Amino acid sequence: PSETEQARGQHFGSNLIFSTDKRHTDPQKYEPIAWSVDAKEYGRFLTDVFHLWVSQDVGKVFISNFEQALTQYLGNPSPNCIHAKKCGSSYAVEANGDVYFCDHIAYPESKLGNVFETSLHEMSLNHELQFNKESRLSMRCKQCQYLSLCNGGCPKHRYLSDTGEYENVLCDGYFYFFSSVQKYLQAMTTLLAHGYPASYVMQALDGPLILTPSNKR
């Protein structure tokens, strides 16, 4: 690959969660370097914060990761593009008017157009440049019990593994998190389905929860 392609591949694999090892020559096969956040540790971090939240802050403090997980557990689309089924719902507009379908992957090949030349509606109809998350899901993703909650994560966090499939560098962390909080999501879903606030889950942690018609929402 050219120097430009190598630089773009390096940038594609770099973000606030992890960075990549420049020693690789194939930009699609960059791997996280040693000081990057470990996927499992990231999952433990999310889980630890969730346990604090579910024990005392449900309905008081709103954390997008947890609200999004509950929303999806209820069968609704993810409000967060990272765990949505498709990309392209959050455009990025630069100062010169250039529009990209995502601020994580704002490269020339993902440019949709310019607001001074084309309307956003017209750009939204341009499917040629949309990144299809579902078409690049690995077999591991497709067979995962938490696919409906994760949807493979953000494509920018994926790398081409030795198996020839695109794996998400945070996969183990997401799996740890979703498997750890599933019973709480189920409890809140049950409460909401019967007309009670999700916050009642906090009371259930202290002992048997007695529900009556008078304390419904």
Residues marked active site are found at 103
Report the C-alpha gap between 62 and 54 in whole angstroms.
11
Beta bridge pairs of residue 160: 166
CA terminus-to-terminus distance, the chain: 60
Torsions phi, psi for 158 (to 5 deg): -95, 155
Report the C-alpha gap between 90 and 71 in whole angstroms.
18
Please answer whether residues 33 and 21 qualify as being in contact, where contact means their C-beta atoms are separated by less than 8 angstroms.
yes
Cβ-based neighbours of 163, under 8 Å, separated by 6 or more: 138
Q: Which amino acid, 19?
A: S
Beta bridge pairs of residue 158: 168
Report the C-alpha gap between 192 and 205 in whole angstroms.
17
